[in-house]
Amino acid sequence: MSEQTKANFHGQGLITESCENAKELYNQSRYGLLQEDGKLRLSLVEGLYLLEKAKIDIFDKRKHKLNFDEYLKKASKHDPNFWIRYVVFKDLRNRGYIVKTALKFGADFRVYDRGVKPGEDHAKWVVYPVHEGSSLTWYEFAAKNRVAHSTKKRLLLAVVDDEADVSFWECRWIRP
Amino acid sequence: MSEQTKANFHGQGLITESCENAKELYNQSRYGLLQEDGKLRLSLVEGLYLLEKAKIDIFDKRKHKLNFDEYLKKASKHDPNFWIRYVVFKDLRNRGYIVKTALKFGADFRVYDRGVKPGEDHAKWVVYPVHEGSSLTWYEFAAKNRVAHSTKKRLLLAVVDDEADVSFWECRWIRP
Amino acid sequence: MSEQTKANFHGQGLITESCENAKELYNQSRYGLLQEDGKLRLSLVEGLYLLEKAKIDIFDKRKHKLNFDEYLKKASKHDPNFWIRYVVFKDLRNRGYIVKTALKFGADFRVYDRGVKPGEDHAKWVVYPVHEGSSLTWYEFAAKNRVAHSTKKRLLLAVVDDEADVSFWECRWIRP
Amino acid sequence: MSEQTKANFHGQGLITESCENAKELYNQSRYGLLQEDGKLRLSLVEGLYLLEKAKIDIFDKRKHKLNFDEYLKKASKHDPNFWIRYVVFKDLRNRGYIVKTALKFGADFRVYDRGVKPGEDHAKWVVYPVHEGSSLTWYEFAAKNRVAHSTKKRLLLAVVDDEADVSFWECRWIRP
């Protein structure tokens, strides 16, 4: 029987205890970043995803165990766009993709092709999650495409509707 | 007597508490998306509509109860076109229609015929809410009609005037 | 063998000679307005249509016989939108519809259902021919619909593209 | 040596004289629409392009020969978006593509692959020319993609900057 891994919430992410389960989350599905001390450092979206899947228990600083809503509220304080990003992360993870942050590429996420683990090959897409109600200037659109082009990835626009459904559009800059 | 359902505002939508009222809002009138944990996930337009009808109480992250104006201001930050969309949503809901998002069809809303619930039958219309002061190229007009035609729905143009009255026009492409 | 009917061009229209052919153009297909003196009064679009069909010969004030381009140039001087209106008139006439002016209804044309002659029944559509490159305010759109609604006809928007192809959209004001 | 073909400007387009050059413009590069009388009917964007290439001379109703600026001013009166559309048309024509109107598909232009003539095969892209300063809702973006998808063409967004440079992005809806 597998106990749930404990993790502590701290502002920008989580740190789990050091245990076999934590190691497996990293080795099998590349959740988080495995530290040398055996603890797993998880991002905010990874945390909620594993909470919803009942893979981890999450505690705040006062040792209070967080439920879904409490977590969502806390995470949204740190990242006003957290919900939209989470919906897209979840959608792609549920489809079998490994999704990692892409801050250093100037995007929200990078996504690896099915069966590919980070490090084995380059990411396939950089992903921008947005809410259907927002709008876009062509300057922003061009910037997103440039980021993808310059990192040799494809641009994936992930638009979240009010029912938390995600529509995906792949774009690329071309010289016709 | 029925207490008002509590809901938490988070950026792009709301989540209610799990209770009988929440379940009824979904089962009877298809507001939101009922989660497995019994909580109801509401869109921004649904939230304001139920607030105005005094069906729910909405709280921000700091446990402050939002009134109509505070909500409108918050929602408009996330969606610059929120007011126009809300006016059309409200008008159609008041007439007894179920109105859901239609981003994946390339429109703002899809509307079901009276007495029809999503899932039971196809939507009747795709709806484009616009402000009377805006204008339209014929390419845009043709594109909206093509969207409706290709999804086998009718096109409903909803033009909102400065008194928040809505005029509706149904259009279709024909070969005379 | 039937000689071509002679017609004189005068600014806003044409007047034919009085002859059997002229009478037939009116009786069979409702071109123009048959005067008591047996002459046929034709509109500018009717004139070019019958010229293109080689049913009439048209002469200017100096007794010069006009060809297609000369006529088009002359007519466009009186009506800057002549070409667009002509393309739509021709398209509908070629499809077997009788097309008459609708100035008194506040539109360009009124169109009778196939097999119906003016006088026998009401027109089916009021038609607005426009060029694809132009644009439209919602006030103009509303006005066109109001005209159709108040005259108990349907609104037909006829958009002409750069290849002189016409796309038709039927619109109606509804209370959903 | 080849004389320049004469063409007459009338509101929404041009008509050339009937001559070998006119025929060649159509047969070799599919400019305009060749009429039965040997005259070529050109669209507004085609007209300016051929004027700039010194292939035709264009005259207004008063027999005045139009230069580039006079033409641009006249055409912009009929189509407020003429300049943006012209820049994109020119860019694509210069790259060797045949570009025709696409109103009936719900877009501005359709573009054929290199070496393909209209009629021989389907168009490759539907094109939307926009100015870099404008912005876009996700509903509009979704609608443009839906139009392309439903006509089995690819979507090409052509964004024109203030120096009349065009950037192209190809987009498509995907299920990842």
Instruction: Indicate yes or no: CB of C164 within 8 angstroms of CB of D81.
Output: no
Residue A43 CA to its chain's centroid (Å): 7
- The residue in chain C having the minimum alpha-carbon distance to the alpha carbon of residue D17 is C69
pLDDT score at C1? 42
Chain A: residue whose CA lies nearest to B63: A73
Q: Which of D167, D173, D175 to mutate to test the interface with A (most CBs of A within 10 A)?
A: D167
Burial class (CB in 10 A: 0-12, 13-18, 19+), D113: middle
Closest chain D residue to C72, measured at CA: D10
* C-alpha–C-alpha distance, residues A95 and A168, integer Å: 13
- pLDDT, tens digit, for every residue of D117-144? 888 889 999 999 999 998 888 999 999 9
Q: B82-94 vs B68-78: helix axis angle to the nearest 10? A: 120
Interchain CB contact of C162 with B (< 8 Å) = no
Distance between CA atoms of residues B51 and B58, nearest Å: 7
Report the residue from C133, C170, C176 with minimal CB separation from B174. C170
Whether the predicted pLDDT of A110 surpasses 60: yes
Q: D109-111 and D99-101: which strand pairing?
A: antiparallel
Q: How confident is the model at residue B106 (pLDDT cuts 50, 70, 90)?
A: confident
Burial environment of residue D76 by CB neighbours within 10 A (0 to 12, 13 to 18, 19 or more): middle
Low-confidence ranges of chain C (pLDDT < 50): 1
Report the mean per-residue pLDDT for chain D. Answer: 92
Give the tens place of pLDDT for each residue, C108-144.
Answer: 999 999 988 888 889 999 999 999 988 889 999 999 9
| Chain A nearest CA to B147, separation (Å) | 16
Is ipTM over 0.85? yes
Please answer yes or no on whether B132 and C145 come within 8 Å at the CB atom: no
Q: Give the residue-averaged pLDDT of A167-175.
A: 95
Q: Flag whether pLDDT at A51 surpasses 60.
A: yes
The better pLDDT of the pair B80, D31 is held by D31
- Establish whether A100 is a catalytic residue: no
Q: Least CB-CB distance to D169: which of A92, A156, A173?
A: A173
Q: Give the rounded distance of the alpha carbon of C147 from its chain centre.
A: 18
**Mutate which of D104, D110, D147 to test chain B, going by most B C-beta atoms within 10 A?**
D147
Task: Report the DSSP beta bridge partners of residue D14.
Answer: D9, D42
CA B90-B92-B98 angle, 5° bins: 100
Q: Is the pLDDT of residue B1 over 50?
A: no
What proportion of chain D, given as a percentage, has pLDDT over 70? 99
Tens-place pLDDT, residues A13-31: 999 999 999 999 999 999 9
Closest CA to B58 of B104, B9, B98, B97: B9
Q: Touching A: which chains, 3+ CB pairs < 8 A?
A: B, D
Tell me which of D17 and D105 has the higher pLDDT: D17
Active site residue: A122, A139, A149, A152, which one?
A: A122
Interchain proximity B138–C156, CB inside 8 Å: no
Q: Would you tell me how many other CB atoms lie within 10 Å of the CB of residue B154? A: 18
* Contact state of D135 with A130 under an 8 Å Cβ cutoff: no
Q: Give yes or no for residue B2 having a pLDDT over 80.
A: no
**Min Cα–Cα distance to chain B from A34, Å:** 31
**How many other β-carbons are positioned within 10 Å of the β-carbon of residue B6?**
17
Residue of D nearest to A171 (CA): D171
Q: A1 vs chain D: nearest CA distance in angstroms?
A: 34
Band (pLDDT 50/70/90 cuts) for residue A85 is: very high
Closest alpha carbon within chain A to D135: A137
D159 and A CB contact within 8 Å: yes
> What residues in A contact D174, CB-CB < 8 Å?
156, 168-170
Those residues with Cβ within 8 angstroms of residue C165's Cβ, 6 or more apart along the chain or in another chain: D101, D103, D104
CA distance B5 to A35: 44
- pLDDT band with cut points at 50, 70 and 90 for residue A1: very low
Q: Give the pair of three-digit tokens for residue D78.
A: 């009929």
Q: Which of A31, A37, A30, A38 is nearest to A13 (CA)?
A: A31
Q: Give percent above pLDDT 70 in chain B.
A: 99
Backbone angles phi, psi at B137, to 5 degrees: -90, 160
Mean pLDDT of D133-156: 92
Given a cut of 90, whether residue B127 has pLDDT beyond it is yes
**For residues B158 and C166, is the Cβ–Cβ distance under 8 A?**
no
Set of chain D residues whose Cβ sits within 8 Å of the Cβ of C81: 11
pLDDT > 60? residue D1: no
d(CA B37, CA A70): 14
- The answer, for A162 touching chain D at a CB cutoff of 8 Å, is no
**pLDDT value at A126 more than 90:** yes
Return mean pLDDT, chain A.
92
Using CA atoms, how far apart are residues A166 and A148, in angstroms rounded to an integer? 20
CB of A54 within 8 Å of a chain B CB? The answer is: no
Among chain A residues, the shortest Cα distance to D112 is held by: A176
Please give, rounded to a whole number of angstroms, the shortest distance from the CA of B175 to a CA of chain A: 32
- Which residue from B11, B81, B104 is facing A161, i.e. has the nearest CB? B104
Q: What is the pLDDT of residues D7-64, one digit of tens each?
A: 999 877 899 999 999 999 999 999 999 988 899 999 999 999 999 999 999 999 889 9
Which residues of A are less than 8 Å from B39 in CB distance?
Answer: 69
The Cα C9–Cα A114 span in angstroms is: 74
Question: With an 8 Å Cβ cutoff, is B169 touching chain D?
Answer: no
Instruction: Report d(CA A89, CA A72) in Å as an integer.
Output: 14
**Main-chain phi, psi angles of A172, to 5 degrees:** -150, 145
pLDDT of residue B124: 95
Rounded Cα–Cα distance for residues D63 and C124 (Å) = 41
* pLDDT above 70 (res A2): no
Tell me if chain D has a CB within 8 Å of the CB of B105: yes
**Residue C153 annotated as catalytic:** yes
Contact D139 A145 (CB under 8 A): no
Which pLDDT tens digit goes with each residue over A131-150? 998 888 999 999 999 999 99
D21 touches chain A (CB under 8 A): no
The Cα–Cα gap between A61 and D73 comes to 68
Question: Is D145 in the B-facing interface, judged by CB distances under 8 Å?
Answer: yes
Question: Per-residue pLDDT averaged across B32-39, rounded?
Answer: 90
Q: Report yes or no: C173 at the D interface, CB cutoff 8 Å.
A: no
